[in-house]
Each structure stands twice: as structure tokens, then as C-alpha cells.
């Protein structure tokens, strides 16, 4: 079964817009799990425009499924990861100020750096996933770092899905097979939604986990949080 991890960044963004604690991010994470989420994902950015670093410890205390923290491995980010010790840390190559994560690492150019970071996170028992473009050579580079998983960037898949879904999924299938052969777990995320998720899941039998935030929270405005999580779970069953 492919697990559904709910990214709650947009809930934090709504909270921060008024400066108070409405909606309550910690309670929302607990509710998501009660409604069927199999993980909670957050991505604290340097400007803390949505999830803040002071949210991490309270979330760690309440999340009962899997706590996944995404981010660029700056010194400050890594200090927080080593302190909080989430179940999984997903490393992304985002420069400061970027709107959203829209490409994977250059695994070979950053080989030494990523290997060092993976080694440090493994020392405290954190599973490491690397944000990765669905390219076989990049997957091979990810394996060299000692990482446990790759998370395929699915933005291009989502863009091409309506016009040619077979062409859109093809590089993911090839890269996914390579990952499986090399002993890497496969996660996926970015612009997956109620329209394109089922096909992606059906074509990717090695898929361990998807992380979905923007689309899921947007759908929840219409369907409600509980119903929406169940709708996504059905597509992954």
C-alpha cells in the first residue's frame, strides 16, 4: 500500500495571515491522522511564511504516524532535524526565497555534500529521502549518497497528464525501476491531485509514499478535510 502523507504548510500559511493560532496547526495534524492520513509533512522555509521552526517540536510530540520534514539542508535546518528527529527528512535543493520545490538535486554535482548530510542524519536514526528528478542517472547518484529513498518530482507529470499521460509517466516508471533495483524506496510529490493520482499510482507499483498538500487542502475547501483525505486514500488503495 502507498502511504498518504498530508503536507500542512498551507494550513500554517492561513494561520500566519492573521498572526494568531487559527487554524490550530497542531490540532489539524492530529485531526488529519484521525481522518486517515498516514503521515504528516511540513517544509519550514527560511522566511517561515508557513510552517515555522517552532512548530516542529510540538508536531513531533503529537504525530503518531510518520513525521516527515522537508527542507534545504542549511546548518540551521540540520540543527533542528538533529534535535527533533523526525521519522523522515526529505532534502530538497531549494535556494532561499523560492516559491515551491520545482526540481530535484543534481545528485552527482552534490554527491559529497549530500553524502555527508545523509551520514549525519543516519546517526540519529532519521530516514533520508532526496528530492529527485525522474532520471535514471540521478537515481543512481542518489543511491551513491547512502540515502534511503528518493522522492520523485511530479510537477512535469502533472503538466503533461491531460495531453499524454503515457508519455508523462514513462520517465517515472524507468527511474522507479532503477530505484528498486538499487534498493531505494520511492516517494513522490508535487501537483498530484484527485485527477492524476490514481494513474500515477497504478503505473508505479514500487511507490511507497506520496506527499500532497496544496491540492488536498484546496479540495478540502469543497469536500471537507475528512472526506478529502478518504478520497485520496481510495485512489491509493
Question: Which residues are identified as catalytic?
Answer: 43, 70, 190
Q: Return the bridge partners of 71, or none.
A: 91
List % helix, strand, coil for the chain (3-state, nearest 5).
50, 15, 35
- Looking at the DSSP bridge assignments, the partners of residue 150 are 130, 186
List the one residue out of 202, 198, 113, 187 whose CA is nearest residue 153: 187
The pairing of strands 185-189 and 39-42 is unpaired
- The number of C-alpha atoms within 13 Å of 104 and in the hemisphere containing its C-beta is 26
* Per-residue cell: 156: 512535469
What's the DSSP call for residue 197? H
Burial bucket for residue 194 (CB in 10 Å: 0-12, 13-18, 19+): middle
Rg of the chain (C-alpha set)? 17
Residue 227 CB partners (closer than 8 Å, separation 6+) = none
Q: In 3-state terms, what secondary structure has residue 71? A: strand
Cα separation, 45 vs 13, whole angstroms: 12
Amino acid at each position: 500500500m502507498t502511504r498518504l502523507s498530508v503536507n500542512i504548510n498551507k494550513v500554517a500559511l492561513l494561520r500566519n495571515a492573521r498572526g494568531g493560532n487559527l487554524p490550530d496547526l497542531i490540532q489539524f495534524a492530529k485531526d488529519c491522522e484521525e481522518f486517515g492520513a498516514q503521515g504528516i509533512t511540513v517544509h519550514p522555509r527560511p522566511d517561515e511564511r508557513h510552517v515555522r521552526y517552532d512548530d516542529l517540536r510540538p508536531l513531533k510530540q503529537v504525530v503518531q504516524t510518520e513525521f516527515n520534514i522537508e527542507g534545504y539542508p542549511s546548518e540551521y535546518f540540520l540543527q533542528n532535524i538533529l534535535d527533533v528527529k523526525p521519522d523522515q527528512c526529505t532534502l530538497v535543493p531549494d535556494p532561499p526565497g523560492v516559491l515551491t520545490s520545482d526540481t530535484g538535486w543534481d545528485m552527482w554535482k552534490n554527491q559529497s555534500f549530500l553524502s555527508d548530510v545523509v551520514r549525519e542524519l543516519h546517526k540519529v536514526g532519521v530516514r533520508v529521502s532526496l528530492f529527485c528528478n525522474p532520471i535514471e542517472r540521478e537515481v543512481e547518484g542518489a543511491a551513491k549518497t547512502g540515502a534511503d529513498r528518493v522522492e520523485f518530482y511530479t510537477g512535469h507529470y502533472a503538466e503533461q497528464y491531460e495531453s499524454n499521460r503515457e508519455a508523462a509517466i514513462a520517465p517515472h516508471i524507468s527511474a522507479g525501476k532503477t530505484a528498486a533495483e538499487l534498493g531505494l524506496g520511492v516517494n513522490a510529490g508535487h501537483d498530484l491531485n484527485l485527477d492524476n493520482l490514481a494513474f500515477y499510482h497504478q503505473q508505479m507499483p514500487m511507490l511507497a509514499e506520496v506527499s500532497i498538500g496544496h491540492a488536498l487542502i484546496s479540495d478540502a475547501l469543497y469536500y471537507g478535510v475528512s472526506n478529502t483525505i478518504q478520497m485520496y486514500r481510495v485512489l491509493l488503495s
